[in-house]
Structure 1
Amino acid sequence: MRKKNLFNVIFVSLICGLLSGVFSSAAFSFSFFGHRGKSNAKTEGNVLSQSAESKPLTLEEAYRLTLVQSEDIAIKREELNKAQGRLYQALNEVIPEVSFLMTESIQDAPKEAVAGSSSLTGNLLRRATPQKKFTLHQPIFSGFKEVAGIQGSNAEKAQKLYERIRLEQTLLTDVVSVFYAVISSEKDIKILEETRQTIEDRIKELEARVVIGRSRESEVQTALSDKMKVEAQLILSRRDVVLARQQLEYFIGRPVEGPLAEPEGANPKVKEPDDYLDRLDSRPDVKAAHEAYLLAEQGVVAAQSGLFPRAYLDGNYYTQRVGTQSGIDWDVLLSVNVPVFNGTETIGTVKAAAAEREIAKYNFFKTKRMGRLEISAAYEEYRSAILEDAALGEAARAKKKDYELQTADYQSNLVSNLDVLTALKDTQDLNRQANAAHTAAKINYWRLKAAVGEVRIKETK
């Protein structure tokens, strides 16, 4: 009895130990896949937030996160996998099919009939006929349909790959536009805040001059009015920052709370138009359209295969046979199917495939013409943007100098307060215009790169 109780105790202890190990491993797996304890998650979150705040978000990192987050890129990736699956299906048409087949035929056969019959009749009247064999089916010729299928699948795979690359390039231009929109709006806020501070200092000076009778109260009110105009512009600029950051968060899939790292360097010099137009054929969308045409062309070949004879080879290797055929180990069957007449189905299929080929050809021509137009437009946009950026930069510096001179002249009573405020307003406007032109030049540079089809992620640094 004691031995039995001892056995039960040991058995229960083993079960509890096993269950404990299972639950502990499950808890480990649960923690491994992201469901950690509150303290660990909180600590890690603090570390991540601190690193995110201390390290500004770069354009390269924003683009990498966008590629990971984008559902469109994921869809294109699955379309590429789908094309790869079709390629495997096409390869299967030329690969022999081998299988192992086991059968056993059972029929109602009287024993008396089997016993009194000849060997041939007895074989037909067997009650059970087991059979085991390897079967081989090998297509020999089907009007080049297999070759067309393989080449067409390769073309489709290349088409989907180029479409994904083109989508990545156009997606970069969207990220660049939003990224620089945040930077530009924040610079705009800085310009307006400096203008507001200057006006506030101006108001204090005017109030002091009113006390001693050197300025009028109306001048103070004019400055106050200009200050409130700047306040209204600040509200709109802060709104623009919030909206731009929200759009950037949509692209990268995480909050954008810290600063952005603006890429350094001057605007690259523009080349001759032909230097960009000569790269038209290397654009991924042009290559994708060409691969789509090749795919449609192979579709015509596959449709024309219905006009050709088809040949197949079928073979069997028997591992078990009974009766009179027990000594025959293998057999081979060659089949040739020559189409004679099947109505207008094949002709209709060929004409439909030929029409699809022509549609793909015209779409290829259209894609090239649109690409040429996009490159020309992007070239002119960037060329004009860098000229405007340089001109407005010079104008802003000159206007700042003019404002400083106007302020000095006001102290000598050579100009009025209105002249000083006008110079200040013009300085603010030119600074904002120069900021917008600088941002446009940066964005149009990437649009030109995308139009040419030469965007690489390392260039975003």
Structure 2
Amino acid sequence: MTLKSKCILWAVPLLFLLLVIPAWTQDAPDAAAEPAKTAPIPAGARLDMRAAVQRGLDANPAIVAARHALLGSESGRKSALADFFPTASSSYGWTHEDRVPRQSGVRVGDQDSWAYQFNLNQPLFTGFRLLSTYQKARLAKEQNEDKLYQAELSLIQSIQTAFLSLLQGRMDVKSAQDSVERLKSQLQVTQAFYEVGLKPRLDVLQAEVQLATAQQELLKAQNAVDTQTAQLNTLLDLPLEAGVNYVGELDYAPFTRTLEQCLTQAYKERPDLRIGEKSVQMAEKDSTITASAYYPQVSADYNYNKAGDDPLTGESKHLSNSNQENWNVGLNLQWKMWQWGSTYYAHDQSQETVKQIRSELDKTRLNAGFEVKSGMLSMQEAADRIGVARKSVEAARESYRMALARYQAQVGTNTDLLNAQSDVSKSEAELNGALADYAKALSNLYVSMGQKNPGLAIE
């Protein structure tokens, strides 16, 4: 055999490993799971709730991690698929004997020998183990898709909650600023009355105390706004001091879906329910894999052997042609027929695991229904509070105008005016809180239904 022929012979197994198997197992990449490359946000950019949510979905590290987990599970699926195809292995070695091999006084080999073996193995029947393993890997990928969706829903809820708290904080700041301005004006009037002897010093001191209290409330409201802005920047993977302007207003729009519609949506779309269903199916595949030990394992083999007295396993002077180069094919059957109940009890354990996971899925479904019902009740409560709070604000403002006019006309007391001003601040804060609570309840309701709604648009 020529050197060229020998090199070709050696290259066949290597080409098989490098080209054939990857070609069988390669699929198109999952573009949807590829982590997105986020563009930087310029200073002074304006982001509404929808844009903020989209930025978070693109850049938040938790979402990026979930996308990488999904890509990894796709590789696991391909790895399980590859096990269906034949595997190739080869070995090459050198052996030195302490004496020349002889048989009946005739030399039958060399003290130094070189051997090369090549094996091709194809599994034919594995008791459904390979099939179930692949199906389980595919389910794991689908489960990671649902986990990615669940992570996105959780992030949307966090961003919307922080965004709504920021809008509420800005309204509280505006209310506190108005309160401070009213109290400053009131202090000036009270001071003027005191200087001409129309009011006692007590009225001035009370006005000063109320003004200082309002200024402290204003500082707290401004700090809350700064805190919520920093939290939003963190959720959106932006620098803490990023100069982003979050825009939006708290408003009320009635929710028109019924409880039955919401429950139907939740049972169909909630990712935790789909994750639970995949977990049950994966446990069933594990049970099938365990039961595969009941069945015989069948495979086919092709073997090629070559030996010689030089490193390229060339011709040998002392080996016959059959010993120097040969090949064979065969079928192999292996069946473990008795293991003292090991397989039986392992299979029984796997079936109990299936029942356990199925019961946990039933519990998750019950909790899903409760979350939808609870979300609707919270939203209805906040909606009712909005109507009451709006009337309260109108009444409080009118009461303040009347108290101010009576005080300036010297027919009302300073205490009445301070109380009226305090009522305005409280009623405005209650309205701000009711509007924010309604929007947060709406956000929680959409998440409990498994539905993405980045801009909280009423559908």
TM-score range, shorter chain: 0.7 to 0.9
Q: SS state of the match for residue 95, structure 1?
A: coil
Match of 2:345 among 326, 336, 348: 348
Match of 1:315 among 302, 311, 317: 302
Q: SS state of the match for residue 279, structure 1?
A: helix
Q: SS state of the match for residue 315, structure 1?
A: strand
Over aligned residue pairs, what C-alpha RMSD do you find?
A: 2.9
1:276 paired to 2:266: no
Q: Structure 1 residues 102 and 250, CA, compared in 2 at 3 Å: closer, same or farther?
A: same
Q: Structure 1 residues 272 and 94, CA, compared in 2 at 3 Å: closer, same or farther?
A: same
Q: Structure 1 residues 285 and 94, CA, compared in 2 at 3 Å: closer, same or farther?
A: same
- Supply the distance in 2 between the matched residues of 1:374 and 1:177 (Cα, whole angstroms): 17
Q: Partner letter of residue 399 of structure 1? A: A
1:178 paired to 2:169: no
1:267, 1:442 within 8 Å by CA — same for their partners in 2?
no
Q: Which moved more, 1:291-300 or 1:349-358?
A: 349-358
Q: SS state of the match for residue 52, structure 1?
A: coil
Correspondence 1:28-43 to 2 at 5 A: none
Per-residue deviation, 1:159: 1.4
1:267, 1:441 within 8 Å by CA — same for their partners in 2?
no
Q: SS state of the match for residue 163, structure 1?
A: helix
Find the counterpart in structure 2 of residue 455 from structure 1: 452
Find the counterpart in structure 2 of residue 339 from structure 1: 336
- Supply the distance in 2 between the matched residues of 1:263 and 1:208 (Cα, whole angstroms): 39
Correspondence 1:294-333 to 2 at 5 A: 294-317=281-304, 323-325=320-322, 330-333=327-330
- Supply the distance in 2 between the matched residues of 1:77 and 1:244 (Cα, whole angstroms): 27
Per-residue deviation, 1:84: 2.7
Q: SS state of the match for residue 88, structure 2?
A: strand
Per-residue deviation, 1:129: 5.1
Q: SS state of the match for residue 122, structure 2?
A: strand
1:109, 1:125 within 8 Å by CA — same for their partners in 2?
no
Q: Partner letter of residue 170 of structure 2? A: E
1:408 paired to 2:418: no
Find the counterpart in structure 1 of residue 37 from structure 2: none
- Supply the distance in 1 between the matched residues of 2:249 and 2:358 (Cα, whole angstroms): 41
Correspondence 1:9-20 to 2 at 5 A: none
Q: Which moved more, 1:59-68 or 1:358-367?
A: 59-68
Match of 1:152 among 133, 136, 145: 136
Per-residue deviation, 1:185: 1.7
Q: So what's the TM-score if we normalise by structure 2?
A: 0.80
Correspondence 1:232-271 to 2 at 5 A: 232-253=216-237, 254-255=239-240, 256-262=242-248, 266-271=252-257
Q: Partner letter of residue 272 of structure 1? A: T
- Supply the distance in 1 between the matched residues of 2:229 and 2:100 (Cα, whole angstroms): 88
1:429 paired to 2:426: yes
1:58, 1:261 within 8 Å by CA — same for their partners in 2?
yes
- What is the percent sequence identity of the aligned residues? 17
Find the counterpart in structure 2 of residue 16 from structure 1: none
Find the counterpart in structure 2 of residue 7 from structure 1: none
1:283, 1:453 within 8 Å by CA — same for their partners in 2?
yes
2:252, 2:435 within 8 Å by CA — same for their partners in 1?
no
Q: Structure 1 residues 200 and 458, CA, compared in 2 at 3 Å: closer, same or farther?
A: closer
1:98 paired to 2:84: no
Q: SS state of the match for residue 278, structure 1?
A: helix
Correspondence 1:90-129 to 2 at 5 A: 90-103=80-93, 105-107=95-97, 110=100, 113=102, 117=106, 124-127=108-111
Q: SS state of the match for residue 245, structure 2?
A: coil
Task: Give per-residue Cα distances to partners, 1:167-223, cap 9 Å, x unaligned.
Answer: 221122122222222222222122111111111111212222334444333222222
Q: Partner letter of residue 423 of structure 1? A: A
Correspondence 1:278-293 to 2 at 5 A: 278-281=264-267, 282-293=269-280
2:306, 2:324 within 8 Å by CA — same for their partners in 1?
no
User: Larger % of helix: which?
Assistant: 1
2:386, 2:431 within 8 Å by CA — same for their partners in 1?
yes
- Supply the distance in 2 between the matched residues of 1:326 and 1:460 (Cα, whole angstroms): 80
5+ long unaligned stretches in structure 2 = 1-39, 309-314
- Supply the distance in 2 between the matched residues of 1:152 and 1:106 (Cα, whole angstroms): 48
Match of 1:165 among 139, 149, 162: 149
Q: Which moved more, 1:100-109 or 1:329-338?
A: 100-109
Task: Give per-residue Cα distances to partners, 1:285-330, cap 9 Å, x unaligned.
Answer: 1100110110001000000001111101111256888623179764
Find the counterpart in structure 2 of residue 25 from structure 1: none
- Supply the distance in 1 between the matched residues of 2:422 and 2:126 (Cα, whole angstroms): 80
- Supply the distance in 1 between the matched residues of 2:190 and 2:249 (Cα, whole angstroms): 42
- Supply the distance in 1 between the matched residues of 2:128 and 2:254 (Cα, whole angstroms): 52
Task: Give per-residue Cα distances to partners, 1:84-133, cap 9 Å, x unaligned.
Answer: 3332332232111124554555545549x58973xxxx5x5344555555
